[in-house]
Amino acid sequence: MIEDLIAMEDAFIGWLTALEPVKIADIATVVALYAGAFFAFVGSVGLLKLDTPMKRLHAPTKASTLGVGSLLLASMIQAFAHGSGSVHEVLIMAFLFVTAPISANFISKVNLHREDADPTPPPPGDSAWATFDTHPADDRTPKEV
């Protein structure tokens, strides 16, 4: 029994050392591609299935962003493994990870100001809550905007 375990361990270590770095990079690329495809699919299904705009914000900003990020990571791994490394993907990911939350914030604020969403809770008494608070000199209401 113990001899069999030792033989299996030796075989596994031999197999692991026989892997070339390119093969390991290919395996990592495939894992990142599958993860990216899964998250992009989940984000797309969530965008189609969720019923209100506020719920629909979560699907593309969370799951699809992670999916596209994983696909770009797979592209980077593959490029560096085959000697033609590129950092263009890093710039695309940075742009994506910065713009997705900002656009989701703008979409949710428009939805709140159009009063298409459920009523918001009453604002606290401090001046840090800025969704519906306006300066006293501004006599416009959110409906007029």
Quick: pLDDT tens for 110-134: 877 776 656 666 666 665 555 555 5
- Crossing angle of helices 88-113 and 65-81, in 10° steps, is 170
Nearest in space to 43 (alpha carbons), one of 54, 55, 59: 59
The model carries a pTM of 0.60
CA distances from 47 to 61, 63, 73 (A): 10, 10, 23
**What pLDDT shows up at residue 34?**
94
**What pLDDT shows up at residue 58?**
78
**What pLDDT shows up at residue 142?**
54
In the predicted model, residues of the chain with pLDDT beneath 70 are 1-2, 4-5, 7-22, 115-145
**What pLDDT shows up at residue 53?**
76
**What pLDDT shows up at residue 124?**
62
**What pLDDT shows up at residue 98?**
86
**What pLDDT shows up at residue 15?**
58
**What pLDDT shows up at residue 116?**
61
